């Protein structure tokens, strides 16, 4: 019996991603969208977007809304191409808007580091509380994956904890349903300051597909300035890890 | 009789729905004449005229015959109907849902309580005001309240354990926190453009829900998809199933502190979902399935990638599972924990792996096959006597063992399909005709959680005037509540993970 387990362990080998900061993802991954310079979008293409992330004038994609479904890039002669670049985290809401001709490097350079006090306090140990506020369990599973043997976010001292009292910040997934509004507010209030607010996934950032639903109540976010925005649907674990590391001044 | 027989993924004119009495629905399930019919769903469709009229549509399945039967009952908002629940518990949640959505009261229903607190509920209670829990009195009794926000990274829901010492007498599960108004969003804009929304009904079963939705659009538009696409869909579905089952075995090992299993199964899951990523650009299979077929083809390079990974994981998962299922310290926690017996499972209508672990033979891939399952039969491993019996014992062991068995079956099926792609060179996508007006359509698929149903009723322009979603979790949450009865409170995480139900798929 024990030999079977040892054989399984032997085959398991060494599975950790050696360096999550420089790691690449599969070329099939739908990541950073490039829009050709002088590219134009037709009204038909814009109407294909399930989340209303496209705009015609100026031609732009809002990564705060985009679910990276790729529908716009599949249209004939589309100026949009989704690259496999997965470093998508930002620190300002309007930095998530990609216009025609924006390169990945330009986009990535927009992400700011946290202020000195935050980096001093949390740079080597950051404990987060996760609140799923009507998340569909995809972002939740990817957030869980950041702590598995592959991505192992704990190597940087970043971990998810079981109580807001133990946390240095709250990471929110999901579009925030009216039925979760109170619980989210309570969790935030139970977390000691200074604290970070991180929004993970298109739904958390903008409401995503559900933005127009009367069943949401996003008042929690009005008047609060989130520290980190992590786009995606769901956000890839490497996108999550790198967005946080960037903020802590330990990224690419 | 007053019902219409139809196949899975079929559409019929709404006006052709037969009308019967509510009482008759109970007879179809339990009457001597139709003893083989199982209630799949019961939901309300507001009538166009007169205002306030509601048609209750009931869908039944004759699994052995591979047919569905549908009938309907005329009712109206605010009506009172004698409840069927006291004799037929499978109606319990459907009646609660009708009460919440349309204000139809069911006389004699033992617990007419909120289901998901939708934003447009017809019942007065709001989630903040608290759920009317059952209470238990006695010297040693106490309650344990958990949630909505849980200790891990999972979706929200509230659990109230009514305990006698460490022993759970009953668990009451209150959901609704995840309600996003999904059904309503399906009704705005063209139905065929809702794949991304379907994938988000329950993001961990994205391929399953997208397939059901695509099947529904194809039924309404009377479209046949290319054979190649039907195979790629099945590959996507089985990758999703294997990935989740591996993740759940990992989580089950974690809940009993068996860390080698936790880490190694989790890594195998990563390999499987990264194969989905290589197939369609998403670890969750998002973007793969659309009405009319699939967005991504499998070329020679991908074929090789899929087959080699699947072969390796099949062998490694089998080896690791073998070392777990004969480990005494694992068995001590898995066996006789959280048991749901066959009679109870049938009574409450359990579906999916949880139903199969309780001895039911429910699997849409076998009984109502569509896509590749209809042309390349899905064959399950026959278990030897002792093993087979234990795998249907209804306890955590059975639900874990079934997962292991299904991983093997799914991966084998993928290996069967990959070389067959050669024989189907008919493209991966066909144009889908617009939905026909005035129809009602049903689409069922076996997701990894079990039977997943979407239904739609189209209006005069072919627009969806009613869209209805039933995730496998709808019935199975109640199965979890019954499973933990007479178990220790500390075994709850183990029972919960062995079911792994969807909160958002239930709350919609």
Say if B317 falls within a structural domain: yes
Q: What is the model's pLDDT at position B248?
A: 95
Selected residue of A14, A180, A184, A191 to mutate for chain B interface (largest B Cβ count, 10 A): A180
User: Do residues B392 and B494 both lie within one domain?
Assistant: yes
CATH code of residue A57: 3.30.70.3270
* Nearest CB partner across the interface for A69, out of B188, B287, B322: B287
Q: Which helix (H) or strand (E) holds B506?
A: helix B504-507
Write phi, then psi, for A230 (nearest 5 degrees).
-120, 100
Contacts of A207 in chain B (CB under 8 A): none
What is the sign, positive or negative, of the torsion defined by CA atoms of A72, A74, A80, A83?
Answer: positive
Q: Are residues A235 and A199 in the same domain?
A: yes
Q: Based on the domain organization, do B10 and B100 belong to the same domain?
A: yes
In a domain, B453, yes or no: yes
CB B169 within 8 A of CB B134: no
A145 and A233 part of one domain = yes
Q: Which positions ≥6 away from B253 have C-beta within 8 Å?
A: B259, B260, B261, B262, B265, B324, B330
Please indicate whether, in this complex, the C-beta atoms of B177 and A183 are within 8 angstroms of each other. yes
Q: Do A69 and B286 make contact, defined as CB atoms within 8 angstroms?
A: yes
Is B433 part of any domain? yes
How deeply is B170 buried, as exposed, middle or buried, from its count of CB atoms within 10 A (0-12, 13-18, 19+)?
middle
Query: 3-state DSSP call for residue B55?
Result: strand
- What whole-number distance in Å separates Cα of residue A161 and Cα of residue A233? 23
Name, in order, each residue with C-beta under 8 angstroms of B459's C-beta and a sequence gap of 6 or more: B48, B437, B438, B465
Q: Across the interface, do A15 and B267 touch by the CB < 8 Å criterion?
A: yes
Report how many domains make up chain B: 2
Flag whether B159 is in a domain: no
Same domain as B421, residue B273: yes
A228/A161 same-domain check: yes
**B154 belongs to a structural domain:** no
- B231 Cβ partners below 8 Å, 6+ apart? B371, B372, B376, B417, B420, B421, B424
Where a domain ends, among B61, B89, B115?
B115
Alpha carbons B233 and B424: distance in angstroms, whole number: 13
Domain boundary among B64, B92, B115: B115
Chain A residues with beta carbon closer than 8 angstroms to that of B206: 138
Does B164 map to a domain? no
Same domain for B259 and B340? yes
- Give pLDDT tens digits for B310-362: 999 999 999 999 888 888 899 999 999 999 999 999 889 999 999 999 988 88
Picking from A80, A109, A138, the residue at the C-terminal end of a domain is: A109
Per-residue pLDDT of chain A (252 residues; tens, 9 = 90+): 678 888 888 888 888 899 999 999 999 999 999 998 887 888 888 888 999 899 888 889 999 999 999 999 988 888 899 999 999 999 999 999 999 889 999 999 998 888 888 889 998 899 999 999 999 999 999 999 999 989 999 999 999 999 999 999 999 999 999 999 999 999 999 999 999 999 999 999 999 999 999 999 999 999 899 999 999 999 999 999 999 999 998 887
Task: Name the burial class of residue A127, with classes exposed (0-12), middle (13-18) and buried (19+) by CB atoms within 10 angstroms of its CB.
Answer: middle
Based on the domain organization, do B213 and B331 belong to the same domain? yes
Task: Decide if B491 is inside a domain.
Answer: yes
Same domain, A141 and A240: yes
Q: Is B312 helix (H, G, I), strand (E, B) or coil?
A: helix
Of B204, B267, B280, the CB nearest to A138: B204
DSSP assignment, residue B30?
H
CB of A96 closer than 8 Å to CB of A205: yes
For residue B464, what are the β-bridge partners?
B458
- What's the confidence (pLDDT) of residue B130? 74
Q: Are residues A79 and A154 in the same domain?
A: no
- Asked if residue A1 is part of any domain, the answer here is no
One domain for residues A52 and A154: no
Contacts of B196 in chain A (CB under 8 A): 50-51, 67, 69, 71, 209, 233
Quote the percentage of chain B above a pLDDT of 90.
66
Q: Are residues A97 and A121 in the same domain?
A: no
Contact A179 B117 (CB under 8 A): yes
Are B237 and B362 members of one domain? yes
Alpha-carbon span B217 to B203, nearest angstrom: 20
DSSP state of B295: S
Does residue B502 come out as left (phi exceeding 0), alpha (psi in the -120 to 50 range) or beta?
beta
A78-105 burial string, b = 16+ CB within 10 Å, else e?
Answer: bbbebeebbbbbbbeeebbbbebebebe
Q: Is residue A28 part of a domain?
A: no
Count of pairs with CB atoms under 8 A, one residue in A, one in B: 192
The answer on B99 and B189 residing in a single domain is no
Task: Please give the tally of structural domains in chain A.
Answer: 2
The reply to whether A136 and A90 lie within a common domain is: no
Kindly report the CATH number assigned to the domain that includes residue B55. 3.30.460.80
Token code pair at residue B99 = 């009460």
Q: What 3 state SS string does chain A have?
A: CHHHHHHHHHHHCCCCCCCCCCCCCCCCCCCCEEECCCCCCCHHHHHHCCCCCEECCCCEEECCCCCCCCCHHHCCCCCEEECCCCCCCECCHHHHEEECCCCHHHHHHCCCCCCHHHHHHHCCCEEEEEEECCCCCHHHHHHHHCCCCCCCHHHHCEEECCCHHHCCEEEEECCCEHHHHHHHHHHHHCCCCCCEEEEECHHHHHCHHHCCCCCECCHHHCCCCCCEEECCCCCCHHHHHHHHHHHCCCCC
Which residues, given as ranges, of chain B have pLDDT below 50?
none
- Which of A90, A109, A128 is the endpoint of a domain? A109
Q: Which domain holds residue B300?
A: 182-507
pLDDT in tens, A130-173: 999 999 999 999 999 999 989 999 999 999 999 999 999 999 99
Residue A252: inside a domain, yes or no? Answer: no
Does A233 map to a domain?
A: yes
Residues A54, A148, single domain; the answer is: no
- Among the candidates B94, B115, B136, a domain finishes at B115
Q: Are A248 and B239 in contact (CB under 8 A)?
A: no
Q: Distance from A40 to chain B by nearest Cα, in Å? A: 22
Phi, psi values for residue B245, rounded to 5°: -60, -40
Between B117, B151, B155, which is nearest A140 by CB?
A: B155
Question: Is position B160 within any domain?
Answer: no
- One domain, residues A40 and A57: yes
**Domain region containing A121:** 116-247
Q: CA A208 to CA A226: how far, in whole Å?
A: 16
- Chain B: give the shortest CA distance to residue A35, in Å: 19
Task: Give yes or no: residues B103 and B211 share one domain.
Answer: no
CATH of the domain at A187: 3.40.50.12280
Domain's final residue, options A88, A109, A130? A109
Shared domain for A151 and A80, answered yes or no, is: no
**CB interface of B with A, residues 188-207, below 8 Å:** 188, 193-197, 200-204, 206
Chain Cα centroid distance, residue A138: 12
**Is A230 in the same domain as A171?**
yes
Which pLDDT value is given to residue A1?
66
d(CA A237, CA B4): 48
Query: A104: distance to nearest CA of chain B, Å?
Result: 19
CB B503 within 8 A of CB B480: no
Question: Is the CB of B281 less than 8 angstroms away from the CB of A183?
Answer: no
Domain membership of residue A95 (yes or no) is yes
Q: For chain A, say whether B308 makes contact (Cβ under 8 Å).
A: no
Min Cα–Cα distance to chain B from A106, Å:
24
The phi and psi torsions of B30 (rounded to 5 degrees) equal -115, -10
Q: What SS3 state is found at B222?
A: coil
């Amino acid at each position: 019996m024990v030999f079977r387990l040892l054989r399984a362990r032997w085959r398991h080998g060494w599975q950790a991603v050696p360096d999550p900061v420089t790691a690449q993802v599969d070329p099939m991954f739908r990541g950073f969208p490039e829009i050709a310079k002088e590219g134009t979008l037709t009204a038909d293409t814009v109407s294909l977007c399930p989340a209303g992330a496209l705009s015609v004038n100026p031609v732009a994609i809002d990564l705060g809304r985009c679910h990276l479904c790729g529908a716009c890039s599949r249209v004939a002669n589309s100026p949009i191409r989704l690259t496999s670049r997965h470093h998508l985290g930002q620190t300002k809401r309007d930095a998530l808007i990609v216009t025609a001709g924006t390169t990945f490097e330009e986009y990535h350079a927009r992400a700011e580091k946290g202020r000195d006090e935050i980096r001093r306090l949390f740079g080597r140990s950051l404990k987060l509380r996760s609140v799923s506020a009507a998340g569909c369990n995809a972002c939740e599973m990817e957030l869980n994956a950041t702590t598995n043997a592959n991505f192992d976010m704990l190597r940087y001292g970043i971990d998810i904890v079981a109580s807001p009292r133990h946390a240095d910040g709250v990471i929110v997934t999901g579009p925030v349903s009216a039925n979760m509004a109170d619980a989210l507010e309570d969790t935030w209030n139970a977390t000691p300051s200074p604290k970070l607010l991180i929004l993970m996934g298109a739904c958390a950032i903008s409401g995503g597909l559900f933005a127009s639903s009367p069943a949401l109540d996003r008042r929690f976010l009005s008047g609060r300035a989130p520290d980190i925005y992590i786009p995606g649907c769901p956000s890839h674990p490497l996108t999550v890890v790198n967005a946080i590391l960037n903020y802590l001044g330990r990224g690419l | 009789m007053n019902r219409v027989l139809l196949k899975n993924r079929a559409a019929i004119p709404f006006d052709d729905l037969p009308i019967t009495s509510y009482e008759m629905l109970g007879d179809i399930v339990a009457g001597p004449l139709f003893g083989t019919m199982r209630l799949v769903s019961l939901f309300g469709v507001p009538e166009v005229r007169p205002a306030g009229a509601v048609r209750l549509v009931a869908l039944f399945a004759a699994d052995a015959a591979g047919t569905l039967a549908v009938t309907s009952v005329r009712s109206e908002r605010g009506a009172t109907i004698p409840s069927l629940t006291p004799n037929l518990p499978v109606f319990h949640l459907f009646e609660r849902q009708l009460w919440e959505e349309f204000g139809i009261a069911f006389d004699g229903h033992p617990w007419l309580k909120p289901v998901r607190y939708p934003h447009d509920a017809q019942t007065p209670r709001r989630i903040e005001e608290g759920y009317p829990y059952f209470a238990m009195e006695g010297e040693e009794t106490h309650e344990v309240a958990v949630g909505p926000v849980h200790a891990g990274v999972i979706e929200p829901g509230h659990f109230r354990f009514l305990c006698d010492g460490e022993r759970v007498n009953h668990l009451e599960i209150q959901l609704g926190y995840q309600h996003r108004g999904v059904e309503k969003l399906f009704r705005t804009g063209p139905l065929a453009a809702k794949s991304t929304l379907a994938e988000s009904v329950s993001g961990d079963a994205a391929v399953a829900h997208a397939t059901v939705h695509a099947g529904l659009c194809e039924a309404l538009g009377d479209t046949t998809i290319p054979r190649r696409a039907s195979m790629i869909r099945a590959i996507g579905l089985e990758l999703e199933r294997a990935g989740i089952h591996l993740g759940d075995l990992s989580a089950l090992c974690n809940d009993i502190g068996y860390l080698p299993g936790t880490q190694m199964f989790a890594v195998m899951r990563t390999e499987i979902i990264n194969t989905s990523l290589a197939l369609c650009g998403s670890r969750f299979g998002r973007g793969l399935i659309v009405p009319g077929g699939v967005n991504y083809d499998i070329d020679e390079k991908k074929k090789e990638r899929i087959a080699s990974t699947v072969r390796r994981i099949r062998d490694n998962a089998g080896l690791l599972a073998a070392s777990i299922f004969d480990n005494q310290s694992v068995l001590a926690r898995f066996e006789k924990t959280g048991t749901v017996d066959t009679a109870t499972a049938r009574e409450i209508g359990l579906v999916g792996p949880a139903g199969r672990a309780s001895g039911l033979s429910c699997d849409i891939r076998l009984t109502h096959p569509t896509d590749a399952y209809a042309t390349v039969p899905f064959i399950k491993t026959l278990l030897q006597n002792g093993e087979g019996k234990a795998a249907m014992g209804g306890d955590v062991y059975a639900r874990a063992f079934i997962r292991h068995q299904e991983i093997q079956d799914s991966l084998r099926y993928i290996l069967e399909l990959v070389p067959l792609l050669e024989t189907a060179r008919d493209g991966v996508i066909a144009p889908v005709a617009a939905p026909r007006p005035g129809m009602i359509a049903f689409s069922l698929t076996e997701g990894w959680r079990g039977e997943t149903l979407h239904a739609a009723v189209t209006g005069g322009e072919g627009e969806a005037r009613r869209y209805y979603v039933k995730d496998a979790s709808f019935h199975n949450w109640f199965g979890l509540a019954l499973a933990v009865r007479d178990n220790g409170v500390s075994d709850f995480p183990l029972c919960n993970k062995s079911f792994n139900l969807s909160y958002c798929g239930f709350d919609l």
